[in-house]
């Protein structure tokens, strides 16, 4: 078994793609609140900009921001799959764009991308997500969490993007790093409309209260992560007290065996769980000597990118195409 794994647009600026301390990629656009078409039959009618744009939506009276990336070659009438990419606690949507390299993949694979900003906005030092409670702790204690409605944010972003680009609503995915990884687990647990998830370097709660049935899940974690214990996800790492590792919990929930087929990848191993039902594949990729960073992240994009490992961005997209389509 071998594989890998409405809105306001504002002009933010331009420059080359980069990470911490470098100029952001060009972000362009200009539209007004309320310009979104009134119904799904008119998706793509607003015809907003291609490439990377910064946008705003209102959630419970609060301004929330995100970046959207739409491939220049995509017809607005073609329903594109959508991937939400969630950042860590002290990060931003822009940084996730720079680290993951998802935009280049979107151009070749024809994917719409959303890089939301956590509560507090893109310039906050700390921008948390609402990730539920009773979580696998970091080495410094319980992860911080926000109280706002981040599921409503997903809905608002999806509606806003659909004004400019028709979307394939059967293929909406959530990935995220660190606290964004916690959010990816939480979204997969609670949202039936999410077709698959890819948490990276973030834990979860017990999954006992999940509102969904089985869900395709690929998990990534560095084995020397000094912030979030690998044991939050990996059953072969040092156990976290009173925590069932997320890979085990998802395998049990999805009806998989607890045995797995090993696939070596650059700098680590992916364990593809055996006996999973259709629509319920589980995979865990761990990386030897990798700390708290995105595997295969862009070189020069800062401390949260580890370019010398297998590319998690491409691994998770291949997983989605194989097991969540």
CA-to-CA distance for 264 and 256, rounded, in angstroms? 21
| Contact between 96 and 302 (Cβ < 8 Å) | no
pTM (whole model) above 0.85 = yes
Q: What is the pLDDT of residues 177-216, one digit of tens each?
A: 999 999 999 999 999 999 999 999 999 999 999 999 899 9
| Contact between 216 and 195 (Cβ < 8 Å) | yes
Going from N- to C-terminal start, the domains of the chain cover 8-323
Instruction: Look at residue 40 in the predicted model and tell me its pLDDT.
Output: 54
In the CATH hierarchy, which fold is given to the domain comprising 8-323? Rossmann fold (3.40.50)
The three state secondary structure string of the chain is: CCCCCCCEEECCECCCCCCCCCCCCCECCCECCCCCCCCHHHCCCCCCCCEEEEEEEEECCEEEEEEEEECCCCCCCCCEEEEEEECCCCCCHHHHHHHHCHHHHHHHHCCEEEEECCCCCCCCCCCCCCCCCCCCCECCECCCCCCCCHHHHHHHHHHHHHCCCCEEEEEEEEEEECHHHHHHHHHHHHCCCCCEEEEECCCCCCCCCCCCCCCCEEEEEECCCCCCCHHHCCCCCCCCCCCCCHHHHHHHHHCCCCCEEEEEECCEEEEEECCCCCCCCEEEEEECCCCCCEECCCCCCCCCEECCCCCHHHHHHHHHHHHCC
Residues 6+ apart with CB under 8 A from 232: 136, 202, 203, 204, 221, 240, 243, 245, 246
Instruction: Look at residue 7 in the predicted model and tell me its pLDDT.
Output: 30
Flag residues of the chain having pLDDT under 70.
1-41
| Contact between 296 and 312 (Cβ < 8 Å) | yes
Closest by Cα among 254, 236, 253, 235 to 244: 235
User: What are the tokens at 80?
Assistant: 């594109």
User: What are the tokens at 276?
Assistant: 């999973």
Helix axes 102-109, 312-323, angle to 10 degrees: 40
User: What are the tokens at 163?
Assistant: 């004004």
């Amino acid at each position: 078994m071998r594989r890998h794994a409405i809105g306001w647009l504002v002009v933010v600026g331009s420059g080359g793609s980069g990470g911490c301390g470098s100029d952001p990629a060009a972000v362009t656009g200009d539209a007004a609140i309320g310009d979104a078409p009134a119904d799904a039959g008119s998706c793509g009618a607003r015809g907003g900009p291609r490439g990377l744009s910064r946008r705003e939506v209102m959630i419970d009276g609060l301004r929330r921001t995100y970046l959207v990336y739409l491939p220049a070659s995509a017809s607005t009438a073609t329903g594109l799959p959508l991937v939400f990419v969630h950042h860590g606690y002290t990060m931003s949507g822009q940084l996730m764009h720079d680290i993951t390299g998802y935009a280049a993949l979107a151009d070749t694979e024809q994917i719409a991308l959303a890089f939301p900003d956590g509560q507090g906005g893109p310039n906050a030092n700390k921008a948390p997500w609402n990730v539920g409670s009773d979580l696998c702790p970091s080495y410094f204690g319980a992860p911080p969490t926000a109280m706002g409605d981040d599921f409503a944010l997903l809905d608002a972003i999806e509606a806003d993007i659909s004004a400019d680009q028709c979307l394939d609503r059967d293929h909406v995915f959530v990935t995220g790093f660190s606290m964004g990884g916690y959010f990816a687990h939480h979204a997969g647990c609670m949202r039936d409309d999410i077709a698959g998830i890819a948490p990276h370097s973030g834990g979860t709660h017990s999954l006992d209260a999940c509102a969904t049935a089985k869900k395709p899940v690929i998990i990534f974690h560095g084995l020397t992560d000094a912030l979030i214990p690998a044991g939050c996800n990996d059953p072969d790492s040092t156990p976290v007290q009173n925590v069932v590792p997320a890979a085990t919990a998802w395998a049990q929930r999805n009806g998989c065996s607890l045995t797995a087929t090993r696939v070596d990848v650059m700098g680590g191993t992916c364990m593809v769980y055996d006996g999973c039902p259709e629509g319920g594949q589980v995979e865990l990729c761990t990386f030897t000597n990798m700390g708290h960073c995105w595997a295969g992240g862009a070189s020069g994009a800062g401390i949260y990118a580890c370019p010398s490992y297998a590319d998690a961005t491409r691994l998770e997209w291949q997983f989605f195409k194989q097991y969540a389509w």
